[in-house]
Amino acid sequence: MAASRRPLKNAHAEAEQFRRRALLGFAVVALSLCGLAGWYFKLQVIDHTKYATRSEANSIKLRPVVPARGSIFDRNGKLLAENVPAFRLDVLPDKAGESKALIAGLSGIFALTPEDIRHFEATRKSSRGFRPITLKLRVSDEEMARFAVDRWRFPGVELEPYLTRRYPYGDLFGHIIGYVGRIDEKDLEKMGEGNAALTHTGKGGLERYYEEILRGKIGYEKVETNVEGRALRSMGRVPAQAGADLRLSVDADLQYAMTQAFGELEGSAVALDPRSGEVLAMVSLPSYDPNLFVNGISHADFNALNNNPSRPQFNRLVLGGVAPGSTLKPLIALAGLDSGLRRPEDKTLSTGMFRLPGMKGRGWGDSHRGGHGWTDVRKSIADSVNTYYYRLALDLGVERFDSYLTRYGFGQPTGIDLIGEIGGILPSPAAKLKLNKERWYPGDLVNAAIGQGMWKVTPLQLARGTAALADGGMLRRPHLVAAKRHAYDAPWEPLPQPAPVRISDHPANVRVVQEGMEMTVNGPGGTARVMSIGAPYRMAGKTGTAQVVNRSATAVNPKSLPMHRRHRALFVGYAPAENPSIAVAVMVEGGGYGASTAAPIARKIFDAWLLEKSAAQPNPDVGDASTSTLIEVGVTPAVPTPAVPAPAPVTPPAPGALR
């Protein structure tokens, strides 16, 4: 019974135990408070600068300031490419929420095209969520008003002001100015992350060639924002540097007159100042409206351009190589004189048919079936006597022939300030072996002597060579941009050009060739004598025809053939003959013969440049940027062209006798 009794409580021991536990708890609390106080001290005192900076960064954001793109003017100050204010719809993906719901909601406010949505989705997948993505460009006033009512429903969606590109003259300068388009991943990779805020970049023409000069440099603005990320006030900025303006050597009035001279015909033409290499005008017809591409071309418009058999986007001036025909004869004649193989007084007998020595088969004809008789160098140019050049080319040999024509600028790009220029094809054994896998024959050189066979030259190359003859033998680089400036009130700075190259060391030989070209237009037997009727100035030139149908074709009238089988008509020349200020090359697709089609076009171009102009000139489109109508003021055309009578019926030349 005594064992079942409980021991008595020890009050002293229990009190002591409680005190120990209380002290331990107090020590833990005290240490925790000290640690918390120390942490607060660290945050508030030691790390104050660090966290204050982070806090400021959360409320102040750097917003990129996109620079204004440089404007483009013609030689007389007419605006060819400008910036107009507009608004675009930007989306921040990390704040805007799920894509499908967002697009569905915004489609009720904005007219979103399938192209807009596809571009947005593609960009969203490849970009970072904090970077704004443009969903729609050129938002209308009505759309902005509707969005202002429902803006609260779309966090991360903003309307941003920007400058969009506009081309007032539409398709008149499509192949010169080019256009800007939306930046894609390849563009951004090339331009670098520093230019990610840009929405457009040059895609063609001068817009692409001078992209770095035109686009300027991006600036930044410090903007204080609220918890929703909306801007409250500006805290300062690093200003953007606007792109440089460009002044072209091109004359808008001459450009218009050149286009009008073609009428409904297709082809290309270029006019140079032979004294400087400046491009005065250049057209590739048909052309296209660059305004269509600025904010994304629709599928309908794109398909219309691509399905057009005339290929409006194809720049015939730098990409369209053709056989030059007889337009090369003045330069080949110069090669004969400079080589010493021919003297001005040397004569070749033209009987109407030429055959290689020792061969009785195939022959090469002259433009007159009965021949031209005894022919010197001047007459060979004026009357386009093929036999003179057949014999001269064989005497030169292919190596020397190619050496001289290379010196004159063929088989290589001219260096004009446009992207993608081809060098063409200079006939040679190596070129034939590479292209056709065939060996070279003497007959190939005979064909090359009159600009047929493997030849491929651009109108720019022809104009450049012709300008060199007009300038006494100085070959210059054709160029479109004459000067630039970095601000509206800054002086224009001329763009330096390479020194000209002399193509002949014998000025007397160049003069002989010039006399032959003057006889072409002004002589009694000249192939372009119809040009001189009623002209108050003297011209020099050379007609040419690039053969398309084979030599066995029997059609009398080239207009009876389908367009793709008609000969290409060509003309090169300069004026005034005694002091040239303009040199031209004209190529008409399906035009038939140079004398009847290309030469009259060249005459109209000369008149437009040399004669007094009337008040009627091309007016830029002053409407919406999406239109490209060239407004005509309802008065007489700008070019006071004297009436040129229709040429006499053309007698079809003998095989190989095109001129």
Catalytic residue numbers, as ranges: 326
CA distance 175 to 129: 38
Partnered with residue 63 across adjacent β-strands are 221
CB 168 within 8 A of CB 621: yes
CA distance 157 to 91: 5
Cα angle 180, 186, 192; round to 5: 90
Partnered with residue 504 across adjacent β-strands are none
* Rg from Cα positions in the chain: 37
CA distance 320 to 314: 8
Strands (E), 194-244: 200-204, 219-225, 231-238
SS3 286: coil
DSSP 8-class letter at 42: I
The sign of the torsion formed by the CA atoms of 117, 212, 464, 328 equals negative
Rounded to the nearest 5°, which phi and psi values hold at 372? -110, 0
DSSP 8-class letter at 46: I
Rounded to the nearest 5°, which phi and psi values hold at 45? -110, -60
What is the distance, to the nearest Å, from the Cα of residue 289 to the centroid of all Cα atoms in its chain? 13
CB 463 within 8 A of CB 272: yes
Residue type, 275: R
Rounded to the nearest 5°, which phi and psi values hold at 464? -65, -45
Contacts of 334 (CB under 8 A, 6+ apart): 404, 408, 469, 503, 504, 509, 510, 513
CA distance 324 to 425: 11
> Nearest CA to 587 among 569, 613, 605, 608?
569
Judged on CB neighbours under 10 Å (0-12, 13-18, 19+), 503 is: buried
Residue type, 596: S
Partnered with residue 575 across adjacent β-strands are 582
Q: Could you tell me the two tokens for 549?
A: 């149908």
- DSSP code string of 429-468: HHHHHHHHS----HHHHHHHHTT-TT-BB-HHHHHHHHHH
CA distance 573 to 602: 8
Q: Which helix (H) or strand (E) element contains residue 149?
A: helix 141-150
Contacts of 493 (CB under 8 A, 6+ apart): 483, 484, 485
The sign of the torsion formed by the CA atoms of 229, 232, 236, 240 equals positive
Name the one residue in this structure whose structure tokens are 């094809």.
425
CB 208 within 8 A of CB 180: no
CA distance 139 to 144: 7
> Nearest CA to 542 among 594, 591, 610, 590?
594
What is the distance, to the nearest Å, from the Cα of residue 527 to the centroid of all Cα atoms in its chain? 35
